[in-house]
Amino acid sequence: MPARSTPLFLARRSYRRRRVMDAARLLPVVGGFLVALPILWRPAETPGGETAQGVVYLFVVWALLILAAAVLARKLSPALEDEAGESGLGPERR
């Protein structure tokens, strides 16, 4: 039974890493969707009560996007380190 607890997959680390890259590619799409949502708001049927909510909605979405980007940037940093080592394009040494 203990053998079942870990899925049979050898290159787990690089598999995870590629999925993190996918997530990084997806994030702006999700962000674009959330930012475009206000277009669907019905224009001022009920007077008042909307603009303040709008402000709150936009800033909350914005903060969540920043948080997600920060988490992804952290997860991507090992991939970037490897790349920089390979291509010799790390910090310039003069």
Partner 1 sequence: MVPFNLLVAACLIYVILLFLVAFWAERQAQRGRVKWLRSPLVYTLSLSIYCTAWTFYGAVGYAARSGLEFVTIYLGPTLVLIGWWWVLRKLVRIGRTQRVTSIADLISSRFGKSNLLGVIVTLICVVAATPYIALQLQSVTLSFNVFAGPVPEGWAMRDSNSTALWVAAGLTLFTILFGTRNLDANERHNGVVTAIALEAVVKLVALLAVGVFTVWVVASGPADILSRIEASDIADWQMQPGRWAGLTFLAGAAILTLPRMFQVMVVENADERHMATASWAFPLYLFAMSLFVVPIAVVGLAVLPEGSNPDLFVLTLPLAFDQGGLAMLAFLGGFSSATSMVIVEAIALATMVSNHIVMPLWLRFRSGGARGAGDVRGLVLMSRRLSIAGVLALGYTYFALSGGSSALAAIGLISFVGVAQILPAMLGGLFWRGATRLGAASGLLTGFAIWLYALFLPSFGNGGLFGVELMLHGPLGVGWLRPQALFGIGGIDPLLHALFWSLSLNTALFCAVSLLTFPGPMERLQGVAFVNVFDHSGPTRGWSRGGAEAEDLLAMAQGILGADEAQGFFQAQAAAQGKAGFLPDTTPDFFAALERRLAGSVGAATAHAMIAQFAAGAAVSVQDLMAVANEAQQIMEYSSQLEAKSEELARTARALSEANEKLQALSVQKDAFLSQISHELRTPMTSIRAFSEILMEGGLEGPDQARYAEIIHDETIRLTRLLDDLLDLSVLENGRVQLNVQVANLHDLIDRALQAASQTRPERRFLIHRDLPTEHMPIFTDTDRLVQVFINLISNARKYCDAARPELTIRVRRRGAQVEVDFIDNGSGIPAGSQSLVFEKFARLTDTTRAGGAGLGLAICREIMANLGGTITYVPGQGGAAFRVALPARRQREAA
Tell me which residues touch partner 1 (CB under 8 A).
21, 24-25, 27-29, 31-32, 35-36, 38-39, 41, 43-44, 48-52, 54-56, 58-59, 62-63, 65-70, 72-73, 76-77, 80-81, 83-84, 86-87, 89-92
50 vs 82: CA distance, rounded Å: 48
Shortest Cβ 65–partner 1 spacing (Å): 6
Residue 3 or 48: the one with the smaller Cβ distance to partner 1 is 48
Contact assessment for residue 65 and residue 27, using Cβ atoms and an 8 Å cutoff: yes
Torsion of CA 39, 40, 43, 49, to 10 degrees: -100
